[in-house]
């Protein structure tokens, strides 16, 4: 009421003239008269006369609502300000790669579609990702495992520059770049992959499988955060490579081959496959990119051997040079191209990476490889001996082997685990290449190979097994078994078993059984150490893949001895164990009648051909009755070149084999 005393009410006859709008507005339509301010505030009906009846009754000044347009603008302005603030906050979230649901989703044509989310945006969320990092002491332990077990073989990371970044990131992962975080998670994955179950329990108080699964899931999220599948970041591409190696044992090679194709395409977009893109790089950047490209191509070739051999990237259509034989500490970030360290003639830290790259470089230009992949590429290949070389069969490989022995192996210390691993892996690879060259020469020829050529081919297969036995039976390369397991000499087993089944009187038959027995003993020992018994560790896959062929080859030997009127001999352990396992499987099948077999094994038909026979009973829920790992190992390496034996030998349907293979078997330690 004090307000009414201070502002006496106007006289009834007093009127207030309303301000008018511009002439154009008033002529277009009559102005709408709104209720006065007090009536609007009290939410009562106003007679829209000024002063109105309500204001006269209470004795207050009647204020018309003349500023309605201005008031509306003022009311909308805070909303606009709020939207601008939200826009700024969203931009900050994007800059820090934090997932959120935008107020107005992007309509860009490049926005990730839901169906692509598994590659580009996979994962559970930023909060779960941050919780997936182990304690700081475990981060450094995983890094140390990586430096001991993985880095000496792959050399796709530069320890002198990466280690300080990891130390800084470990103190506060929130400050690590998304690409670095993805790389760190991929290092976790491959580090866990490279250790045994006992080592994992001792170091991390956890079983290996759940720990590996945890880090793989987090790595998927991290790869999505850093947009590794869409960007051109080398750290992101390295993370993809290490991650794909870690999931190899759980993934159908056909699926893994597709993912590797994406990684190869990313590498090509970056340009690391072409020397012309290295002109603007430092010596360190150039060397690391070469190492990464060769590692990707070699891994892709191995997976293509088990899926579609014609899709391999190991072809002569790119010109990336092989890595240099230099130590990591010699590569400095400030060294420009043209001032790179001189390659050594003695072994260095990069020995394994250099040797396997040079071997792969030889193969990609070799006719025996290109004829299986795409014969039209022979026109651009640059074989070491030239297009019109006069070398006899195997001559170029002999020259390569001699060069490797003189250049690298002669200076190796066989008490050094890396040198030991390099020498026997390379020798096994060379023996395999010579066997493939033999197939290339005779698979399509109408002239049958001579006895000398057959004996030479058998010796190559035996050399492959002997090299594999050296790697599995020695304690020196024990920490590199994860790599050895991914290169099981299946091609050698298939060739030897074919020969022993068709020609049990072969000159090297006795040696062949001894070599196979030695390799089998090494596999059994490794399986026992990995799984605590011979039942696990993937050894079941050996029986599933080769049981029929082993028994048929031994039966052929027994028939030969009876024909020669010789006393029966005691079967080697490899045969007795197969018979025992087959008996157990047969009794298990009788107890579970009506169940369907799931897997297939290599057998030798009456004509001496390779055939597929079912051996593995299924459980009632569709799972295999016994576990194992990587069942494709039985035929993977032979399947790399389906026509290597000639049409008359390959007597099975690979498509049916792939369809019946249960890839969950690949999730154990042994292979």
51 prior amide bond cis, ω within 30: yes
Residue 440 within any structural domain of the chain: yes
Q: What is the CATH number of the domain that holds 56?
A: 4.10.240
Answer for the pair 320, 293: CB distance below 8 angstroms, yes or no. Answer: yes
In a domain, residue 80? The reply is no
- 402 and 528 housed in the same domain: no
Instruction: Give me the residue label for tokens 């020469």.
Output: 441
Residues 169 and 234 in one domain: yes
pLDDT > 90 fraction of the chain, expressed in percent and rounded: 47
Domain that holds residue 58: 2-65
Number of domains making up the chain? 3
Find where tokens 């369809």 sit: 659
Same domain, 517 and 614: yes
Which of residues 654 and 32 earns the better pLDDT score? 32
CA distance 281 to 293: 15
Q: Which residue has the higher pLDDT, 633 or 181?
A: 181
Q: Could you read off the pLDDT of 122-176 as tens digits, one per residue?
A: 544 444 677 889 999 999 999 999 999 999 999 999 999 999 999 999 988 888 9
- Supply the pTM of this predicted model: 0.74
Q: What b-and-e string marks burial along 619-638, b requiring 16 or more CB atoms within 10 Å of the CB?
A: eeeeebbbbbbbbbbbbbbb
Looking at the chain, the whole-number percentage of residues with pLDDT higher than 70 is: 73
Whole-number pLDDT of residue 104 = 62
Same domain (yes/no): 143, 238 = yes
Supply the pLDDT for residue 382: 82
**pLDDT tens-digit readout, 316-360:** 999 999 999 999 999 998 888 777 889 998 999 999 999 999 999
Residues 466 and 349 reside in one and the same domain = yes
Ranking 48-52, 221-225, 276-280, 555-559 by mean pLDDT, the lowest is 48-52
* From 10-19, 351-360, 548-557, 626-635, the region with the lowest mean pLDDT: 626-635
Tell me the two tokens of residue 291. Answer: 């190492």
Q: Grade residue 393 by pLDDT with cuts at 50, 70 and 90.
A: low
Pairwise CA distance, residues 30 & 25, whole Å: 8
| Mean pLDDT of the chain, nearest integer | 78
Same domain as 547, residue 467: no
List, for residues 99-115, the tens digit of each pLDDT value. Answer: 777 766 544 333 333 33
Q: Are 404 and 352 spatial neighbours (Cβ–Cβ below 8 Å)?
A: no
Beta strands 600-604 and 610-614 are: antiparallel
Band of pLDDT at residue 589, cut at 50, 70 and 90: low
Give the pLDDT confidence score for residue 268 in this predicted structure. 96
Residue 194, C-beta contacts closer than 8 angstroms, at least 6 positions apart: 145, 146, 149, 150, 479, 482
Same domain, 515 and 561: yes
**Which pLDDT value is given to residue 450?**
86
Question: How confident is the model at residue 385, as a pLDDT?
Answer: 57
CA distance 241 to 243: 5
Q: Which of 65, 86, 111 is the last residue of a domain?
A: 65
185 vs 178: CA distance, rounded Å: 11
Q: Is residue 100 part of a domain?
A: no
pLDDT tens-digit map of 536-570: 445 667 777 788 899 999 999 999 999 988 888 89
Residue 95 CA to residue 98 CA, distance in Å, equals 8
Which residue, of 444, 471, 498, is where some domain finishes?
471
Q: What is the structure's pLDDT at 5?
A: 44
| One domain for residues 446 and 510 | no
**78 has pLDDT over 80:** no
DSSP-derived letter for residue 192 is H
Nearest to 668 by CA among 520, 485, 432, 447: 485
């Amino acid at each position: 009421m004090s307000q009414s005393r201070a502002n006496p009410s106007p006289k009834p006859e007093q009127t207030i003239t309303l301000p008018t709008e511009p002439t154009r507005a008033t002529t277009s339509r009559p102005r709408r008269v709104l209720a006065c301010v007090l009536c609007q505030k009290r939410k009562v009906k106003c007679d829209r006369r000024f002063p109105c009846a309500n204001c006269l009754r209470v004795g207050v000044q009647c204020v018309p609502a003349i500023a309605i347009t201005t008031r509306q603008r003022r009311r909308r302005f805070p909303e606009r300000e709020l939207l601008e603030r939200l826009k700024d906050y969203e931009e900050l979230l994007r800059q820090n790669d934090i997932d959120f649901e935008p107020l107005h989703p992007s309509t860009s044509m490049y926005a990730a579609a839901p169906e692509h989310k598994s590659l580009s945006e996979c994962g559970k969320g930023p909060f779960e990702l941050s919780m997936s990092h182990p304690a700081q002491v475990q981060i450094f332990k995983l890094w140390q495992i990586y430096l001991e077990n993985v880095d000496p073989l792959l050399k796709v990371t530069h320890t002198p520059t990466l280690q300080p970044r990891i130390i800084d990131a470990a103190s506060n992962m929130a400050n690590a770049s998304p690409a670095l975080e993805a790389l760190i998670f991929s290092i976790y994955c491959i580090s866990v992959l490279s250790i045994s179950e006992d080592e994992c329990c001792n170091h991390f108080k956890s079983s290996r499988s759940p720990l590996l699964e945890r880090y793989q899931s987090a790595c998927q999220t991290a790869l999505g955060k850093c947009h590794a599948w869409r960007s051109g970041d080398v750290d992101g591409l390295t993370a993809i490579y290490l991650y794909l190696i870690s999931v190899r044992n759980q993934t159908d090679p056909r699926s893994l081959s597709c993912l590797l194709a994406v990684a190869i395409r990313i590498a090509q977009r970056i340009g690391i496959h072409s020397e012309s893109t290295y002109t603007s790089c430092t010596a360190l950047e150039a060397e690391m990119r070469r190492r990464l490209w060769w590692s990707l191509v070699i891994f892709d070739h191995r997976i293509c051997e088990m899926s579609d051999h014609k899709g391999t990237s190991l072809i002569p259509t790119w010109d990336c040079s092989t890595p240099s034989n230099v130590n990591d500490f010699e590569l400095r970030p400030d060294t420009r191209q043209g001032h790179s360290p001189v390659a050594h003639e003695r072994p260095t830290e990069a020995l394994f990476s250099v040797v396997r790259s040079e071997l792969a470089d030889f193969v990609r230009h070799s006719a025996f490889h290109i004829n299986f992949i795409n014969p039209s590429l022979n026109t651009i290949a640059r074989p070491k001996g030239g297009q019109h070389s006069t070398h006899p069969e195997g001559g170029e490989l002999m020259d390569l082997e001699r060069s490797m022995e003189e250049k690298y192996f002669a200076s190796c210390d066989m008490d050094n685990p890396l040198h030991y691993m390099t020498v026997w892996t390379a020798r096994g690879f060379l023996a395999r290449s010579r066997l493939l060259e033999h197939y290339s020469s005779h698979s399509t020829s109408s002239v049958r190979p001579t006895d000398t050529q057959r004996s030479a081919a058998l010796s190559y297969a035996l050399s492959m097994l002997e090299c594999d036995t050296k790697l599995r039976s020695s304690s020196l390369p024990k920490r590199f078994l994860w790599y050895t397991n991914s290169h099981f000499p299946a091609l050698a087993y298939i060739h030897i078993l074919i020969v022993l089944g068709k020609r049990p009187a072969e000159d090297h038959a006795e040696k062949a059984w001894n070599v196979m027995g030695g390799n089998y003993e090494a596999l059994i020992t490794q399986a026992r150490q990995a799984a605590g018994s011979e039942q696990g560790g993937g050894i079941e896959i050996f029986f599933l893949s080769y049981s029929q062929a082993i028994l048929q080859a031994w039966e052929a030997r027994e028939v030969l001895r009876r024909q020669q009127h010789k006393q029966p001999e005691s079967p080697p352990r490899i045969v007795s164990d197969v018979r025992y396992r087959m008996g157990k499987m047969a009794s298990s099948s009788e107890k579970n009648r009506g169940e369907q077999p799931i897997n297939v094994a290599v057998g030798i038909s009456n004509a001496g051909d390779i055939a597929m026979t079912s051996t593995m009973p299924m459980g009632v829920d569709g799972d295999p009755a016994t576990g194992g790992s990587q069942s494709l190992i039985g035929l993977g390496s032979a399947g790399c070149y389906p026509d290597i034996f000639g049409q008359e030998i390959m007597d099975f349907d690979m498509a049916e084999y792939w369809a019946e293979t249960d890839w969950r078997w690949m999730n154990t330690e042994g292979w």
